[in-house]
Amino acid sequence: MDELKIIGVMTEYGEACKFIGKHLMHLATTSTLSRNYVFSILHFIRFLRTNYLSPEEFVDSIRGRRWLKTSCGDKAPVESVLFKKEWEPASKISDIPFIDQDYYGKEILHFVPELQLLGVVVDFSGSHQLIVNYLKLPSLLTSLTSEAFLLMLECMHLLGSPDKLVSALKGTKCLKTNVGYKSHSETFYYHYEWGCLLHVFNGLPLMDKNFYGIRIYCFEDELKQIGVIVEFEEAAKVFARYFRAYASKGSITKENVASFLSCYRKLKGTPHKFPTEVKKCIREEKWLRTRLGDYRSPSDCILFGPDWESIYPITLLPFIDDSDKWYGEEIHKFNGELKSMGAIVGFKDGAKFVANGLYLPRDPSSITPASALSLLECIKILLSDQSYSFPDAFMKKVSQAWLKTHAGYRPPNKCLLFDWKWGNYLKQTDGPFIDEQFYGSTIRSYRKELNAIGVIVDVEKGCSLIASHLDAHFEFPTMVRIYSYLSDFKWEPDSVDGRRIWIPHGNQNGKWVTPEDCVVSDKSGLFSLQLIALDKYYKQNLLVFFCTAFQVKSSPHFDDYFQLWKGWESSGHNLSHDECCKFWGYVTKHWNSKTEKALADGLVKVPVNSDSDGILLSNKNDVFIADDLQLKDLFEQSCPHPIFVWYPQPSLPNLPRTKLLEIFQKIGVRTISESVQKEEISMRNGIEPELVIPWNIFMGKGMVKLVLGFLAGPTINMEAERRKKAVKGLLNLTVNETAEPITVSYNLSLSSGENVNVTACRMIRWDKEGSKFFTQKIDRSKGPKYIIEFATYFSEVISEGILWEDSDHIDELTELIKLAFVLEFNEEAVTFLMKSKNLQIFVEDEDFLASAFPSD
């Protein structure tokens, strides 16, 4: 044995195994071991094992050498894998060197223990790294089976270093989705809590859970690592991109909306919250269809509900289209979801839409009370924001006639809101008050809102509107209430149209007149045909109002009187004594330079005394002032028509004859004494008057004293200067005495060309124009009758000459002078006579007498 060892013969078992192994490997280096060789090796190993010989040295000598034919070429046993069915998924994703069973045949499967001793991988368990090591190229990793893809995820999960796998899978369309195979980055992981979001739009690539089974859910982290959209936030952002794209095209269908809202509801209460940018997208994109036919964002939409029933008929609002053609009644189930997205649900939140979408119908009668009150409620909500101001378009729309009042439908600025304050002055029917019976008492609670759109609510601000509504009334009690209200608030019309006054004819009728046609009072009663006296119809408080607000004259003015007279002139109207007194009484009271000029220039006719009914008016050029009563008597007897100006008899306190005759004279009426042409017939026939002593010698101090006393007495009460002037007229006379009665011819030319001629034969005549006094020579021997006759004529001439302007007292003075004449004007007798008549002279009269009769 030893000798054999020395010469190289192997005697040891181990050495023999190594030798066999080396020999076989040598053969392998020169050519591939044949199938038979391989099986011989396997049989040999089995032999050793069966005979309880250790194959370790043999195995060690060949296991590291490449002699096994595999799918990847010749490989060492430790580099090879025996394919079994469990390796099927791995074969799809990895180029594992599987022993070539096509070459070796099924017989190779009978040597599993021997192959395992050689280092061949037989069982799949724990071989994940091997899969990674032999991973196929990315281009070959497409359209993977579910088992293959899950195996890759399992490798990532177990090995903990997935970079190679992640790199290999990037960009490959190996994931099966509901829309075919997709790359990881465009594929969504379906999560049971939020996966509904991915069903909103068709076409989102969702992992096919039916294809992969529930096992896929075990690899959420791995899916995320390879780029699959796993997290909710990321999925929501991608969803938002889809959402925005669909919305921009108006392609979001009612089914999309229903699906989205359902999902939105499902997500409520879960930890999954939409990112800010997604919320912004949902809120801002126009994806909800409205009844107006357009798409709007939720914040620009309203979900119709009972609160909107009333306002709906008078608006065009963007209500979400809940018709059967679109979202239907189902949309109302998502009230809360829509509200959280910004959609308007409650009436209070949508008030601004009403302001922008108001659409009042042309026929205001179609606006129900409920609609009107709903609009006011909307305004109330808007006004709760103190910074809010109504859009111009809203104010323009709301300014049309739509509010029902007692005067019909009117715009707000032509309406009034009635309350208890108004009730202190008016009734609701007195003006265009909002019809409370139509709207109900609730309308009063919207005082502020009505005022904001122009309705007048304050009682002190309604005057103009109430006044403009006067035309609608004809009942006198109503007119009185309205005028009283206007008066209390000191209203004045601001236009000519408003300056009209109602004159009643009973309580149910009347007419409108202008203020110029009215006076507060016509106490004279002269203007019943020209002016309307308001005090016949209205009480004192309203009379003051008409004066201040309408500038109604308190009484007729001079111009009214002037026109009245001109009317009388043209009508040929015979005036009554009362009419004439009232007219000229007014002229006398208001006499001034202006009235003087107006009457002098404008009056053509003046009143004349007449025996007929009424007072006639005659051309003032043919009318005369009777300053000489003797002439007056002569012409009244001879003239066929009245020629002497009228004056009241007796003289009236408010119309002194003296003043009236002075006025007549200033407006162009001449005195008779200056108008007549006279001729002394007796002188023409050769009867010459005899010049006698001056009047003061002819008559004496007694007569002058008597006249002064009478003029100063209580009856006349003439002031001192006027008394002196009257008496001086006597003292300056020259007395002409004749033996025969004096005959004088008087001729008066009228404007018509007519001449009136009269002749007078008198014992006594006073020629005032010539300051001459003519008297027939007195013959006292003719007895008492002659004396009293002479005294009578003398006293009449003197009295008429002095008191021609105050004829009421001529008779009284005549009687005194007549008695004094009979007593030859004896001073003592005159003094007694004066005392008996309660007459006296004063110091100034005494001084005057002393100067006129210095010798006495």
pLDDT digits (tens, 9 = 90+) for 503-522: 998 877 889 999 999 999 99
Do 352 and 383 form a contact (C-beta atoms < 8 A)? no
The mean pLDDT value for 291-311 works out to: 91
CB-side neighbour CA atoms (13 Å) of 730:
28
DSSP 740: S
Rounding to the nearest 10 degrees, give the CA dihedral for residues 57, 62, 65, 67.
Answer: -170
Per-residue pLDDT, 488: 92
End-to-end CA distance of the chain: 227
Q: How confident is the model at residue 690 (pLDDT cuts 50, 70, 90)?
A: low
φ, ψ of residue 761 to 5 degrees: the values are: -130, 110
What is the spatial distance between Cα 507 and Cα 189, in angstroms, rounded to a whole number?
A: 92
Per-residue pLDDT, 703: 85
Per-residue pLDDT, 613: 73
Bond preceding residue 650 cis, omega within 30 of 0: yes
3-class state of residue 205 by DSSP: coil
The residues, any chain, with a CB within 8 Å of residue 475's CB and separated by 6 or more, are 507, 508
Maximal C-alpha separation, the chain: 243
Quick one: which of 465, 401, 405 has its CA closest to 435?
405
Q: If you average pLDDT over every residue of the chain, what do you get?
A: 83
Token pair belonging to 835 = 């005392």
765 pLDDT above the threshold of 80: no
Count CB neighbours of 56 within 10 A. Answer: 12
What is the spatial distance between Cα 663 and Cα 679, in angstroms, rounded to a whole number?
A: 30
Rounding to the nearest 10 degrees, give the CA dihedral for residues 437, 438, 439, 442.
Answer: 10
The mean pLDDT value for 809-814 works out to: 84
Token pair belonging to 90 = 């791995």
What is the spatial distance between Cα 603 and Cα 569, in angstroms, rounded to a whole number?
A: 9
Quick one: which of 493, 431, 442, 489 has its CA closest to 461?
489
856 pLDDT above the threshold of 70: no
> pLDDT tens digits, residue range 38-84?
888 888 888 887 876 777 777 877 877 888 888 888 888 888 888 88
DSSP 315: B
Which H helix or E strand runs over 767?
A: strand 764-767
Which H helix or E strand runs over 734?
A: strand 734-738
Which H helix or E strand runs over 511?
A: strand 510-513
φ, ψ of residue 645 to 5 degrees: the values are: -60, 145
| DSSP annotation string for 774-820 | EEEPP-GGG-HHHHHHHHHHHHHHHHHHHSTT-GGGHHHHHHHHHHH
Token pair belonging to 498 = 């408003």
Going by their DSSP bridges, the two strands 772-776 and 734-738 should be labelled as parallel
Do 345 and 335 form a contact (C-beta atoms < 8 A)? yes
Is residue 525 classed exposed, middle or buried when 0-12, 13-18 and 19+ CB atoms within 10 A define those classes? exposed
What is the spatial distance between Cα 234 and Cα 247, in angstroms, rounded to a whole number?
A: 20
pTM over 0.85: no
Of the two residues 500 and 13, the one the predictor is more confident about is: 500
Do 536 and 502 form a contact (C-beta atoms < 8 A)? no
Rounding to the nearest 10 degrees, give the CA dihedral for residues 578, 582, 588, 592.
Answer: -150
The mean pLDDT value for 459-486 works out to: 90
CB-side neighbour CA atoms (13 Å) of 493:
21
What is the spatial distance between Cα 223 and Cα 126, in angstroms, rounded to a whole number?
A: 21
Distance of CA 540 to the CA centre of its chain: 36
Q: Is the dihedral of CA 645, 650, 655, 660 positive or negative?
A: positive
Q: Is 525 left (phi over 0), alpha (psi -120 to 50) or beta?
A: left
What is the spatial distance between Cα 829 and Cα 819, in angstroms, rounded to a whole number?
A: 10
What is the spatial distance between Cα 850 and Cα 502, in angstroms, rounded to a whole number?
A: 70
Per-residue pLDDT, 684: 47
What is the identity of the amino acid at 84?
A: K
Going by their DSSP bridges, the two strands 408-410 and 616-619 should be labelled as unpaired
65-69 long-range CB contacts below 8 Å, 24 or more apart?
Answer: 65/25, 65/28, 66/28, 67/24, 67/25, 67/28, 67/32, 67/33, 67/38, 68/38, 68/99, 68/120, 69/32, 69/38, 69/99, 69/100, 69/103, 69/104
Name the packing angle between helices 701-712 and 810-822 (round to 10°).
150
What is the spatial distance between Cα 239 and Cα 191, in angstroms, rounded to a whole number?
A: 14
The mean pLDDT value for 185-198 works out to: 80
171 pLDDT above the threshold of 70: no
Q: How confident is the model at residue 95 (pLDDT cuts 50, 70, 90)?
A: confident
Per-residue pLDDT, 314: 92
The mean pLDDT value for 823-849 works out to: 87
Q: Cα separations (Å) of 137 from 143, 160, 169, 281, 577?
A: 13, 21, 9, 41, 141
Between 298-312, 726-740, 825-839, the lowest mean confidence (pLDDT) is in: 726-740
Do 708 and 849 form a contact (C-beta atoms < 8 A)? yes
708 pLDDT above the threshold of 60: yes
The mean pLDDT value for 124-144 works out to: 76
759-765 long-range CB contacts below 8 Å, 24 or more apart?
Answer: 759/681, 760/630, 760/634, 762/630, 762/793, 763/789, 763/790, 763/793, 763/794, 764/790, 764/793, 764/794, 764/796, 764/797, 765/630, 765/797
pLDDT > 70 in the chain, percent: 92
DSSP 105: -
Quick one: which of 212, 223, 152 has its CA closest to 177?
212
Is residue 387 classed exposed, middle or buried when 0-12, 13-18 and 19+ CB atoms within 10 A define those classes? exposed
What is the identity of the amino acid at 15?
A: E
545 pLDDT above the threshold of 80: yes
